[in-house]
Amino acid sequence: MKVGDLFAKLDRLQKAKLFKIIASIVVLLIGAGVMISSIVAHRQIPEVKWSEPTPAPEPAVKPQDGTNPVAGGLTPDQIRTMDIEATRAAITNVLSAQADPTAAGFTVAVLIGLSLVVIWLGLAITYLALLILAISVGLVAGFAGYPGFTRLAWGSLALTAAFSTMLVALRALLSGSHPVIAIARNVVNEAVRMKIFLVFIVLLVLMLAILPEYLSDKTPLRYRVQTVLQFGTGLSFWIIALLVLLLTMSSICFEQRDKVIWQTMTKPVTHAQYLLGKWVGAVCMAGVLLMVCAGGVFMFTEFMRNQRAIGESRAYIAGDDIPISEDRLILETQILTARETKRADEIELDPEKFNRTVLAFIENERKTNPDFARLPDKPEDLDPRMVDKVAADLREQLMTAYRTIEPGSNETYMFSGLQGVRELNRPLVLKYRVDAGSNRPDQFLKLTFAFSRSSPIVRDVVLGQDMSFNISPNVIDDDGRIYIQVVNGDVFTGAGNDMTLTFPKGGLEVSYPVASYRANFMRAVAVMWVKLAFLAMVAIFCSTFMSFPVACLVAMGVFFSAETTQFLFDSLDNYPTEDRDGNVVIFKLVISWISYGVAYLFKLYSDLQPVQRLVDGELIPWSSVGLGTGSLALVSAVLYLASVYIFKRRELATYSGN
């Protein structure tokens, strides 16, 4: 039998309905078997060895006694015992993540889904042959001493196969005869034929496949996971965004330039249908690429999660008779989670006393400037704008003084609104930043953090940098409040600091988990897809009345401006509009106004920040997703209507009579 005849028979076999049914049943049975095995394997939580609580050391410098709300009337040993019990329950809850079969279930579900798509597209034997070939090449490379090449080959093949499968499925989905569907299908076909598109696809696949090879097992696991999330999702989004912009603009601009659009617009296709079809095609293509990349990043993150962290003998099993390694604890409570944040409550000001303070300040200023805070036309009345400014300045000074601690002194801060958080039984995260002097990087301070029902903690503080550590949920009282007393020094040794420290605004906050990392990941992917859909509409708007080079310049300028809005806001906070004598510099003021206008124009887009929130373990709430989606959808609708209006006024298809 000839090879060609054999391939023809195999092709007919894989397209036969009976074969598809049998193959689907086999895949489902294998998937069910793997899932059951995974559930059984994950049923047992590793046994944790706990040491008995040791007597707490007596502080050399005791915090305030009767007036201190963090004292609670408990002895240090009582606090130590309660802290141990609460920490034991919280850490056991953290370690139970190993017994969660969700990740395995998701992976099995994805593989089953892709396999069923391949089977019913009539490509089962083809992909099976490619899989066998990849495994053979990988085994040969492994035996030859090139394991890195094996992982690279398998990763590239998996991503390529997933993309190819979903691309074929997308074409089948867009097989209708409606003008919008037909135009969208043509966009997908154009994308596959574009050389630059294929170059970007290859770059994307290789980037995701090579990334694991640059992660050393000597690096803390939490940093490796953050690297995968940061570059896997962040760089993928940027590459896909550039692809979407180029694909959309080239599809419309080149059809106008080459007069190909005549063949479409002379048919019963409206301008609105034409542009909507282009947008649907670009958005669907972006969705396919994003799903492939996000799926690869998600599964590799779950794989990394089950690797050995620093200080562990094996995954989730800490050495040296400690219940959990610091690397694992930070990973599970600060990165692979979805946390909400509470800032320290501001001090409450008595309105009457504060108003008297404001008036006293104004009277004192009038001793040197009699016209201070007077209205020009009514000198006997106070200028309300100046009064508001004085009140705001004084309030800010009081808040800054509240966040400032002199050497050897202490201050108590309260966090409220934490009802129900203690019942979650998960460690909280205290994040802080300390400023002192010029924030020299070679200077360190000793700070003591005292909590109710928890032992004081002394930390070495690096100035001007965000730092954090985990605290027991036991520190939350029955009213949902946390009191934290910060001492500018070490209460155990009595050593104080010789510098006054300040917590900047937002420099002291407590965060706690409210949702799973996996759900947060899905929300992040959804937000990225919404942003890509918005960028596709921007590209369509630019392409309706601009040439391809100009449209690229404008659309990519919008993209870069939108992505760097937060950086622009941070830069403008430090951009001076006055000279050393306090005189306003006009051109700097104009630059500031224009920059603020651009920043506020893209503020809703920038505030979403799905990648950064995902990497930092911050919750992406549905309210934020809904608000961002609604806002970008509204702007996209306006751009779409404007694009249709512009397109209708252009002569796209004329008949010359020849």
The predicted-structure confidence for 3-35, as pLDDT tens digits, reads as follows 566 667 777 777 788 877 888 888 888 888 877
Residues paired with residue 432 on neighbouring β-strands, in sequence order = 467, 508
258 and 392 co-located in one domain: no
pLDDT for residue 1: 52
CA angle 447, 347, 477 (to 5 degrees): 70
Kindly state the helix (H) or strand (E) to which residue 314 belongs, with its residue range.
strand 312-314
437: nearest Cα among 500, 512, 391, 523: 500
Q: Is residue 325 part of a domain?
A: no
pLDDT for residue 514: 87
Q: Predicted confidence band at 643 (pLDDT cuts at 50, 70, 90)?
A: very high
288 and 361 co-located in one domain: no
In angstroms, the CA 166 to CA 182 distance is 18
Q: Is residue 31 part of a domain?
A: yes
Assign 658 to helix, strand or coil.
Answer: coil
Per residue in 456-495, pLDDT tens? Answer: 888 888 888 888 888 888 888 888 888 888 988 888 777 7
The share of the chain scoring above pLDDT 70, in percent, equals 79
Per residue in 297-308, pLDDT tens? Answer: 888 888 888 888
Residues paired with residue 618 on neighbouring β-strands, in sequence order = 339
Type of residue at 221: L
Lowest-pLDDT range of 113-127, 158-172, 261-275:
113-127
Residue whose tokens read 């799926």 = 295
pLDDT for residue 56: 44
Assign 457 to helix, strand or coil.
Answer: strand
Type of residue at 557: G
273 and 376 co-located in one domain: no
Q: Burial-class residue 394 by CB neighbours within 10 Å (0-12, 13-18, 19+).
A: middle
Kindly state the helix (H) or strand (E) to which residue 513 belongs, with its residue range.
strand 508-515
> How many distinct structural domains can be found in the chain?
3
pLDDT at 84 over 80: no
Type of residue at 113: G
359 and 291 co-located in one domain: no
363 and 256 co-located in one domain: no
371 and 246 co-located in one domain: no
pLDDT at 635 over 60: yes
186: nearest Cα among 258, 246, 248, 262: 248
Q: Is residue 19 part of a domain?
A: yes
The token pair that represents 158 in the structure block: 């998996």
Residues paired with residue 467 on neighbouring β-strands, in sequence order = 432
Q: How far is CA 6 from the centre of its chain?
A: 50
* Domain boundary, last residue among 364, 398, 432: 398
pLDDT for residue 59: 45
* Domain boundary, last residue among 274, 295, 316: 295
Q: Is residue 508 part of a domain?
A: no
pLDDT for residue 597: 74
In angstroms, the CA 610 to CA 521 distance is 9
* Domain boundary, last residue among 295, 312, 333: 295
Q: Is residue 66 part of a domain?
A: no
Q: Predicted confidence band at 535 (pLDDT cuts at 50, 70, 90)?
A: very high
In this prediction the pTM is 0.80
Per residue in 565-620, pLDDT tens? Answer: 877 777 776 777 766 666 767 777 777 777 777 777 777 777 788 888 899 889 98
120 and 237 co-located in one domain: yes
HEC readout, 130-196: HHHHHHHHHHHHHHCCCHHHHHHHHHHHHHHHHHHHHHHHHHHHCCCCCHHHHHHHHHHHHHHHCHH
238 and 143 co-located in one domain: yes
pLDDT for residue 297: 87
409: nearest Cα among 489, 343, 517, 342: 489
The token pair that represents 360 in the structure block: 């006293």
335: nearest Cα among 104, 103, 520, 523: 520
122 and 240 co-located in one domain: yes
Type of residue at 180: V
Q: Is residue 454 part of a domain?
A: no
Higher pLDDT, 93 or 288: 288
pLDDT for residue 64: 43
Q: Is residue 65 part of a domain?
A: no
The DSSP letter of residue 52 is P
Q: Is residue 376 part of a domain?
A: yes
In angstroms, the CA 502 to CA 242 distance is 43
249 and 176 co-located in one domain: yes
Average pLDDT, the chain: 79
Cα Rg, the chain, nearest whole Å: 31
Per residue in 341-361, pLDDT tens? Answer: 888 888 888 788 888 888 888
Give the residue numbers spanning the domain of 600.
524-648
Residue whose tokens read 């919750």 = 619
431: nearest Cα among 515, 500, 339: 339
- Helices and strands (DSSP H and E) totals, the chain: 21, 12
Q: Burial-class residue 521 by CB neighbours within 10 Å (0-12, 13-18, 19+).
A: buried
Higher pLDDT, 470 or 541: 541
Average pLDDT over residues 38-44: 61
pLDDT for residue 639: 92
364 and 224 co-located in one domain: no
239 and 108 co-located in one domain: yes
Count CB atoms within 10 A of the CB of residue 549.
10
Residue 99 and residue 512 in contact, taking contact as beta carbons nearer than 8 Å: no
